Amino acid sequence: MSLKTIAVLIIFLFPVTVFCQIANRYDIVIDEIMADPTPQVGLPNNEWIELKNTSAVAINLQGFRISDLTGQSGAMPSYVLKPDSFVIICTSSAFTAMSAFGSTISVTSFPSLDNNGDQVSLISTQGKVIHAVAYNISWYQNELKKDGGWTLEMIDTKNPCSGFSNWKASVDTKGGTPGKKNSVDAANTDKISPKLLRAFAVDNLNITLIFDEPLDSLKGAAAVSYSISDGIGVPQSAITVAPVFDHVNLKLNTPLAVNKVYTITANGVTDCAGNVIASKNTTRVGLSSVADSFDIVINEILFNPNSNGVDYVEIYNRSQKIIDAKQLYIASRNSTNVISSIHQLITESILLFPTDFLVITEDPQIVMQQYVTTNPDAFIQVSNMPSFSDDKGDVIILNGQGKIVDEVTYSDKWHFALIANTEGVSLERINYNASSVQSNFHSAATSVGYGTPGYKNSQFRIDQQVQGEITVTPEIFSPDNDGMDDFATVNYSFPSPGYVANITIFDASGRPVRYLQKNALSGIKGSYIWDGLGEKQQKLSQGIYIIYTEIFNTDGKKKQFKNTVVLARRN
């Protein structure tokens, strides 16, 4: 047999071997995802993804698989995907319906795609990750379309690993473009440097770094690119984590100390487009501890949002511990007063350092649109929040053992009485170190837009640390809810516990206008709040008022105090 005849037979019998090559990373990309097909817009009620060949050669998909965070599909049959061509991948039950739109491959055990947050990967016959997409609901960039029926489309398939900035909801009237070029297709070159978002310690010798986009896997795996403060130095090794490559695992030579905050710096790492990390290249890390009672406090609650808004709960780390939000849960109480609706804050570690805030909500984007936000990194998105009633309810933070760390039993009546409509107004904690009770909460100020998610409360008041007396601060207050001296604080310091206090407020003519406290059992130190309203919650006129306090205990010891305060009006 001649050499020519043999060559012809090889081409005839093994066409895939001759004309198709083994795929390299990003030769094929996942460029469209239908994760939530209901309510239907114009496409079948099926989940599917679309692949595009971005290389210059044909590639046989035989043996390729699709995976997500919970499973992996069966192998694909032989199918040659030509350059600049598309193919739809779905389950067998969706094959007929999807075939009407273009070339379609069905696979067994097609992953069930989560509506809000999943990681979809294309894996070659050789087990290599060709492309992976870790999407979430914010990628739709459209409040209507994120509710279902629309696909997520990649904007520029030559920029396969930029994440959020290179994806958006389809603008095709059917809700997607299976089997053809995406409706949002456009040039969208990645010129933005990667950012080091955060880090957490797995144990005292292992740290995981999280970046905002996939890295060049070789550059990310260079140990000399990282340095840890306080004598830890360069790590022993670095591994870029497949399949998305936006995580890097570091192995240290020197162990971390407990409750010590370290700084990690990254230099020289690049994203997959070659952009070098720039200014956002440092973050904190440390060994976390279990949150105990009152280590974390509930600092702000929005339980009655605007009609187009969402609830949020802000927590604050008042301890000296580093606390992992992964080990915290948010909950409420049911009609029988049992703790219920327990939800883990997050499944991947986020460290809450001393004096840090963390805002818990189902939709950070909506909260950030409706309120002034100075710290967007303080937000975490939870898939489900307990249902907090608009009139009263319970907000509870639990640790990983189910122990109550803090609890607030709130009421709409805690709001400033002269606010006619409390919709969209948060309740703010006044003092981090005082109890989680009504007297330690106040409506957020008008001047900040009725909420301060992620930063210091507009009504924050530090401890006055008075000794052996009663003082009133400030000397002049203006109860107009503008965030500046909206209430008077009656601070007390008694020589021993067990004192009972009666506090009466008189106007300049000596007439009683408010019985602020009646037989209130007081601690050694604490405070009471006067909101400037009268006994019937009426608005009082501006002028000088006398705060008369009488204390006594069971031993018969008594003492009286008189303090003056000026009630002013700014408007």
Q: What is the pLDDT of residues 478-529, one digit of tens each?
A: 998 888 899 999 998 887 777 888 999 999 988 999 999 998 887 778 889 9
Check pLDDT > 50 for residue 10: no
Answer CATH for 289-462 from 2.60.40.420, 3.60.21.10, 1.10.1370.10, 2.60.40.1260: 2.60.40.1260
Residue 8 has pLDDT above 80, yes or no: no
The mean pLDDT of 451-455, rounded to a whole number, is 95
Q: Percent helix, strand, coil in the chain (nearest 5)?
A: 10, 35, 50
What would the pLDDT profile of 122-153 be if each residue is shown by its tens digit? 999 999 999 999 998 889 999 899 999 999 99
CA distances from 55 to 18, 77, 78, 168, 313 (A): 16, 20, 18, 23, 48
- Least confident among 73-87, 89-103, 200-214, 487-501: 487-501
| Cα-based torsion angle of the residue sequence 195, 200, 201, 207 in order, rounded to the nearest 10 degrees | -20
**Could you give the C-alpha distances from 131 to 157, 423, 528, in angstroms and in order?**
11, 45, 60
* From 164-178, 349-363, 488-502, 506-520, the region with the lowest mean pLDDT: 488-502
* Distance between CA atoms of residues 32 and 28, nearest Å: 12
- Least trusted range by pLDDT, from 76-90, 272-286, 300-314, 450-464: 450-464
Which of the four pLDDT bands, split at 50, 70 and 90, describes residue 2?
Answer: low
**Residue 7 scores a pLDDT above 50:** no
Confidence tier at 13 by pLDDT (50, 70, 90): very low
What CATH class does 463-571 carry? mainly beta
Question: Of 484, 425, 389, which is closest to residue 300 (Cα–Cα)?
Answer: 425
What are the structural domain ranges in the chain?
12-169, 196-285, 289-462, 463-571
CATH topology of domain 196-285: Immunoglobulin-like (2.60.40)
pLDDT band for position 447 (cuts 50, 70, 90): confident
What lies within 8 Å, CB to CB, of 338 at 6+ separation is none
CA dist., res. 376 & res. 454, Å (int):
7
Give Cβ neighbours of residue 241 (< 8 Å, ≥ 6 apart): 208, 247, 248, 249
Q: How far apart are CA 364 and CA 420, in angstroms?
A: 27
Sign of the dihedral defined by the CA atoms of residues 221, 222, 225, 231, in that order: positive
Give me the mean pLDDT over the 245-266 stretch: 96
Q: Please, which residues have CB within 8 angstroms of residue 452's CB and are 6 or more apart in sequence?
A: 300, 314, 371, 372, 426, 428, 444, 458
Tokens of residue 312, six digits: 């949020």
The CA distance from 351 to 200, in Å, is 7
pTM for the complete prediction? 0.77
The torsion angles phi and psi of 59, rounded to 5 degrees, stand at -135, 130
Whether the pLDDT of residue 353 is over 90: the answer is yes
**CATH 2.60.40.1260 holds for 12-169:** yes
Paired strand residues for 442: 428
Helix (H) / strand (E) element for 368: namely helix 364-370
| Domains 289-462 and 463-571 belong to one CATH topology | yes
Q: For all residues of the chain together, what is the average pLDDT?
A: 91
Q: How far is residue 410 from each of residues 71, 402, 428, 492, 526, measured CA to CA in Å?
A: 42, 21, 11, 25, 20
The 10s digit of each residue's pLDDT in 387-399 is 999 999 999 999 9
More confident residue, 407 or 494: 407
Helix residue ranges, H only, 106-257 = 217-220
CA distance 145 to 182: 16
